[in-house]
């Protein structure tokens, strides 16, 4: 027998499906974007709050999974007291719990924003991840439609602050009460019609994808796609279909508001919803937000089990090329609405609330398409090279590094094997360091340092062909007294910045 112990297996490095690592560039882009969003929210008088990644599973509200399958749709585990906890599915349910738990201390209306990761235990796919970031703003304790109107205006201001110009976006607004009123008006009220109502809502949601004719089929007998697959329809008759299509086909709300009010007259919530839409329209128009920015659009269907009143969606209107090489409209980057029932679950009393959520990753993709994000180049650090490894020399190199940092200049002292100086310059080249500081024994004895302009050095190496041009070029290497180190480095960095501005 071979008594030699088996060689231990090397652990395989692998990323869980549906999760991604983020690069420095992505992190900086997100920070840049969320900083601009935060400025708008703060200007509107909203304050930040942060809730933990985990909540008790029963606090997830409309996203509560089956009690027999607590991991369905969410990532869950049992606490040491056998209570189920889940990673948050969105940022709204945790806010509702926070408000209810701190209701006596919170000043209503409570205006708050928060950004953070949410988690979905769902099958990942292209562009579909199990962890992603949302940025939410909410007003809790304000029942009037003016709070919803303000949310729409804030969404518009946020997109413009991010560099998306008017005409490239629209905030589309509908009202769940109106939609429910239309369904009640065509005979789909009551609990016994809940399944058919859901089929109608799903059909309406396909309007952008299939157009009116496709939706007409889905509202009626059903639709067969190009592959031959058949989707069963909602089973409405021609008169019912005509009324639904009239509602979702409204292009000019001002012209159609009267006919819509007549359609939902006598329903339990429809008339109230029309009044709220009219109020939102009047408020945003009065504040200077025309229909090219905030538009009443009855085709908006979102949050089927979640929202109780006005709903809104931020849509980007410019074209992008998809993975098939086709030109398509970019589409939704966020939305929200009124969710008066969510906080009330904890309180046993009505607590009105409205808010919206921005999909950070999707909006970041849109901004990159527009060239509105990540354009500010991050300058790599100045590299202080190491020529001697004794304590006194190392201390001097570290002082140079700290002196630069103290003046707001990115700097690092080389931390690798200092004995191979060529590797230090290769490192600087790979890092795109703008400047290298060199001090050997001779320079140290004279109290001076060599400063290499690495950017100019690269340019000279590639472009200069004769001595005359060399003499006229900016000096790529200088020797200066130690006391002038910071000033000279700053001068070189400013010259490099000016070159970039001229080139860009």
Please state the rounded mean pLDDT for residues 420-435.
92
389 φ/ψ angles, rounded to the nearest 5 degrees: -100, 10
- Laid out side by side, the sheet with 382-384 consists of 411-413, 382-384, 435-438, 448-453, 477-481
Reported as a single tens digit per residue, the pLDDT across 99-127 is 999 999 999 999 999 999 999 988 887 77
Give every CB contact of residue 495 below 8 A, 6+ residues apart in sequence. 453, 456, 474
Question: Is 80 exceeded by the pLDDT of residue 81?
Answer: yes
| Global confidence as pTM | 0.83
Is the per-residue pLDDT at 143 higher than 70? yes
The phi, psi pair for 76, rounded to 5°, reads -130, 155
Res. 329: pLDDT tops 80: no
Q: Is 21 exposed, middle or buried (0-12, 13-18, 19+ CB in 10 A)?
A: exposed
Task: Please report which confidence band the pLDDT of residue 473 belongs to, taking 50, 70 and 90 as the band edges.
Answer: very low
The better pLDDT of the pair 329, 61 is held by 329
Query: What distances in angstroms separate CA 355 from CA 131, 203, 239, 285, 309, one per listed residue?
Result: 21, 25, 36, 20, 11
Enumerate residues 6+ apart whose C-beta is below 8 A from 229: none
Per-residue pLDDT band for 291 (boundaries 50, 70, 90) equals very high
Q: Are 413 and 398 spatial neighbours (Cβ–Cβ below 8 Å)?
A: yes
Compute the chain's Rg from CA coordinates.
30
- Which of 31-40, 257-266, 369-378, 459-468 has the least mean pLDDT? 459-468
Residue 431, both tokens: 């890092």
Quickly state the pLDDT bin for 318 (edges 50, 70, 90). Answer: confident
Q: Residue 461 — pLDDT band, cuts 50, 70, 90?
A: low
What span, in angstroms and rounded, lies between the C-alpha atoms of 228 and 313?
33
Range 481-493 average pLDDT: 95
Nearest to 398 by CA among 416, 379, 417, 415: 415
Measured distance CA(15)–CA(31) in Å, rounded: 24
- In the chain, what are the helix, strand and coil shares in percent, each to the nearest 5? 45, 20, 35
What is the band of 70 on the pLDDT scale with cuts at 50, 70, 90?
low
pLDDT on residue 122: 85
In angstroms, the CA 41 to CA 43 distance is 5
- Cβ burial of 361 (10 Å; 0-12, 13-18, 19+) is middle
Q: pLDDT at position 328, please?
A: 72
Query: According to the model, what pLDDT value does residue 127 have?
Result: 72
461 against 385, higher pLDDT: 385
Contact (Cβ atoms closer than 8 angstroms) between residue 201 and residue 248: no
H helix count then E strand count, the chain: 17, 18
Q: Report, as an integer, the average pLDDT of 336-347.
A: 89
The answer, yes or no, to whether residue 1 has pLDDT greater than 70, is: no
Helix H, strand E, coil C: the string for 214-265 is HHHHHHCCEEECCCCCEEECCCCCHHHHHHHHHHHCCCCHHHHHHHHHHHHC
Instruction: Please compute the mean of the pLDDT values over residues 470-479 and round it to a whole number.
Output: 64
Mean pLDDT of 442-468: 78
């Amino acid at each position: 027998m071979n008594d030699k112990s088996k060689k231990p297996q090397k652990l395989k490095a692998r990323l869980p499906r549906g999760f991604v690592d983020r690069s420095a560039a992505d992190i900086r882009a997100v920070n840049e974007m969320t900083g601009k969003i935060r400025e708008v929210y703060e200007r509107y008088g909203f304050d930040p709050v942060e809730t933990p990644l985990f909540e008790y599973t029963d606090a997830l509200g409309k996203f509560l999974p089956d009690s027999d399958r607590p991991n369905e749709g969410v990532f869950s585990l049992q606490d040491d007291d056998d209570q189920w906890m889940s990673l948050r599915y969105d940022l709204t349910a945790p806010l509702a719990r926070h408000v209810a738990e701190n209701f006596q201390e919170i000043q209503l209306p409570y205006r708050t924003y928060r950004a953070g990761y949410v988690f979905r235990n769902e099958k990942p796919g292209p562009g579909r991840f199990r962890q992603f970031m949302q940025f939410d703003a909410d007003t809790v304790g304000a029942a009037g439609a003016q709070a919803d109107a303000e949310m729409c205006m804030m969404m518009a201001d946020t997109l413009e602050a991010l560099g998306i110009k008017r005409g490239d976006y629209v905030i589309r607004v509908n009202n769940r009460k109106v939609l429910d009123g239309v369904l009640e008006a065509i005979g789909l009220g009551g609990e016994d019609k809940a399944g058919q109502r859901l089929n109608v809502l799903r059909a309406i949601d396909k309007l952008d994808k299939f157009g009116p004719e496709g939706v007409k089929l889905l509202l009626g007998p059903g639709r067969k796609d190009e592959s031959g697959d058949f989707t069963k329809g909602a089973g409405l008759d021609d008169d019912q279909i005509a009324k639904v299509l009239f509602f979702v086909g409204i292009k000019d709300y001002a012209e159609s508001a009267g006919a819509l009010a007549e359609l939902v007259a006598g329903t339990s919530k429809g008339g109230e919803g029309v009044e709220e839409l009219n109020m939102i329209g009047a408020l945003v128009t009065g504040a200077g937000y025309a229909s090219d920015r905030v538009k009443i659009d009855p085709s908006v269907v979102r949050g089927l089990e979640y929202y109780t009143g006005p709903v809104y969606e931020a849509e980007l209107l410019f074209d992008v090329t998809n993975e098939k090489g086709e030109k398509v409209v970019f589409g939704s980057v966020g939305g929200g609405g009124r969710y008066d029932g969510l906080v009330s679950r904890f309180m046993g009393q009505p607590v009105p609330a409205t808010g919206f959520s921005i999909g950070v990753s999707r909006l970041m993709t849109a901004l990159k398409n527009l060239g509105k994000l990540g354009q500010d180049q991050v300058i790599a650090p100045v590299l202080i090279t190491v020529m001697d490894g004794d304590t006194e020399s190392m201390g001097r190199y570290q002082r140079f590094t700290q002196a630069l940092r103290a003046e707001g200049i990115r700097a690092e002292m080389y931390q690798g094997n200092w004995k191979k100086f060529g590797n230090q310059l290769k490192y600087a080249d790979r890092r795109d360091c703008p400047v290298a500081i060199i001090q050997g024994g001779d320079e140290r004895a004279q109290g001076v340092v060599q400063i290499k302009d690495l950017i100019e050095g690269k340019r000279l190496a590639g472009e200069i062909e004769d001595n005359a041009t060399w003499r006229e070029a900016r000096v790529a290497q200088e020797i200066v007294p130690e006391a002038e180190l910071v000033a000279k480095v700053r001068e070189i960095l400013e010259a490099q910045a000016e070159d970039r501005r001229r080139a860009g």
